Amino acid sequence: MADGGVRGPDAAWAGAVGQVVLLVEGDDHDALLVAESLGDAGLDVELRRVRSVREAESALARGGVDCLLVGLGAPGAAESEVEEPDATEPDAAEPEAIGADAVGRLRAACAGLLDPPALVVLTDIADQGASAVAAGADDHLSKDEADPVALGRSLRYALQGRRTAAQERALSRGEVRAAEAERLERALVPTPLVADRDVSVMVGYLPGRDGLLGGDFFDAIERADAAVMCVIGDVAGHGPDEAALGARLRTAWRTLVLSDTPADRTLPLLERVLISERASAEVFVTLCQVVVMPGRDAVEVYLAGHVPPLLITGPVGAVEVRVLDGALRGRALGVPVEGGWRAQRVELTGPFSVALYTDGLVEAQVGPAAAGDGAGKPLPRAAPRLGVPGLRGVLAAEVSGDFCGLVERVLRRVRDLHGGPLADDAALLVVGWTGSADVPGERSSTLADSAEWAR
């Protein structure tokens, strides 16, 4: 025992050293024998004592109990030792539980606890042990056999079983959270609503290194006038709140487009949704919206504090990739400063594609994280980032052969350059026109799993 004695029911319940064992025993002689056996067993535990199941239930409600050690006397003896109830007590009419009933009541009292204690019973007769285990006890010992070795072994097994059960519960909760996160991730990869088979729509999402969901979202919809509108956005921050907000904003954007809201009114209305849905005034969203004109001869680009998209032109084998001018970039959504958003129109001829992406890709680190100081000592510094020019180079290299699987290949290549899972989540959306009714557009959707890609 930690203090070599038995503490009463009113002893301090906080700051215990080692495992806390609560002895439920009405017989003073038996309680003393248990205390001596635990002391001789060399267990680093703090022994506390209560005399009845009612007191034990109160102790459990206060918390801090790792193991219940319950003494079950012979039924006749237990009944004869029960004192006459005080008529002034609220539960005076309720008889004290004995035997398996006592175990059942204690297990019921433990049911609502986040980390229920182990339960070991000490019995006077053999039949009580089996019935106690059936009622929920983890182990049982005959009082006659509860020497220091046997009692110590039983408590060690019970406490280890409790730790194992706690680990299994934590693992189960983690698996449930992972499944919920996966469902939310898949909700961030929508099914594009584009009927024109000459239009390519390739989307991909790559979770970050820490496994936390981010606020990246994207979508593509063909309007009734044959214009194709697409969007990619990034909610500031990481975690389930940001991911949920991103999903709500994507749904709001889709609703606005399907209700034929003019393209130049979409961002102001989406900002109103953001302001009403965000958790605090500091939350903002960067966004890029691209409209492919019905004649497939031009695109309009709206930038709200977002990185500019990449334009891919020319046939396979003679592809050119360039960064679109971001001179008309407006403020991020939710930032309380003057200014709105204007469209940049880009005239096009022949096949083309526009690549929209989030900053998780361009922030990938592609170089060493330290440089020498001239004396052989490394100086810590941030590793060089891929940047927009680097991403343009990756896209140009991957698209030089064909468009098949382009988004997945780009995500894999950036991840390889980074040397593993990216620090931030990343999204990539490529929308384009093949230039010929005889050439169908590429359609693909990639929800990348960094763990799988590592294998």
Average pLDDT in the 71-98 region? 48
178: pLDDT confidence band, cut at 50, 70 and 90? low
Looking at residue 38, what is its pLDDT?
83
Residues 41-65: tens digit of each pLDDT: 877 788 899 988 889 888 888 888 8
Task: Give the number of C-alpha atoms closer than 13 A to the C-alpha of residue 309, restricted to the C-beta side.
Answer: 31
Query: CA 35 → CA 3, 144, 209, 389, distances in Å?
Result: 10, 15, 51, 74
Residues 313-336: tens digit of each pLDDT: 987 778 899 999 888 999 999 999
Q: Is the pLDDT of residue 267 over 50?
A: yes
What's at 260, amino acid-wise? D
Looking at every residue in the chain, the average pLDDT score rounds to 81
Looking at residue 29, what is its pLDDT?
86
Looking at residue 183, what is its pLDDT?
66
Query: CA 193 → CA 187, 219, 293, 307, 448, distances in Å?
Result: 15, 9, 16, 24, 21
For every residue of the chain, which 3-state class applies, written as one string? CCCCCCECCCCCCCCCCCEEEEEECCCHHHHHHHHHHHHHHCCCEEEEEECCHHHHHHHHHHCCCCEEEEEECCHHHHHHHCCCCCCCCCCCCCCCCCHHHHHHHHHHHHCCCCCCCEEEEEECCHHHHHHHHHCCCCEEEEHHHCCHHHHHHHHHHHHHHHHHHHHHHHHHHHHHHHHHHHHHHHHCCCCCECCCCCEEEEEEEECCCCCCCEEEEEEEEECCCCCEEEEEEEEEEECHHHHHHHHHHHHHHHHHHHCCCCHHHHHHHHHHHHHHHCCCCCCCEEEEEEEECCCCCEEEEEEEECCCCEEEECCCCCCEEEECCCCCCECCECCCCCCCCCCEEEECCCCEEEEEECHHHHCCECCCCEEECCCCCEEECCCCECHHHHHHHHHHHHHCCCCCCHHHHHHHHHHHHHCCCCCCCEEEEEEEECCCCCCCCCEEEEECCHHHHCC
Residues listed for the chain: 455
Domains (range + CATH), the chain? 19-175 (3.40.50.2300), 188-453 (3.60.40.10)
Residue 53: partners with Cβ closer than 8 Å, 6 or more residues away: 24, 96, 97, 102, 105, 106
74: pLDDT confidence band, cut at 50, 70 and 90? very low
Q: Is the pLDDT of residue 290 over 70?
A: yes
Which of 65-74, 87-96, 297-306, 319-328 bottoms out in mean pLDDT, i.e. has the lowest?
A: 87-96
Residue 432: partners with Cβ closer than 8 Å, 6 or more residues away: 199, 200, 312, 351, 352, 353, 354, 403, 441
421: pLDDT confidence band, cut at 50, 70 and 90? confident
Looking at residue 441, what is its pLDDT?
87
Looking at residue 342, what is its pLDDT?
95
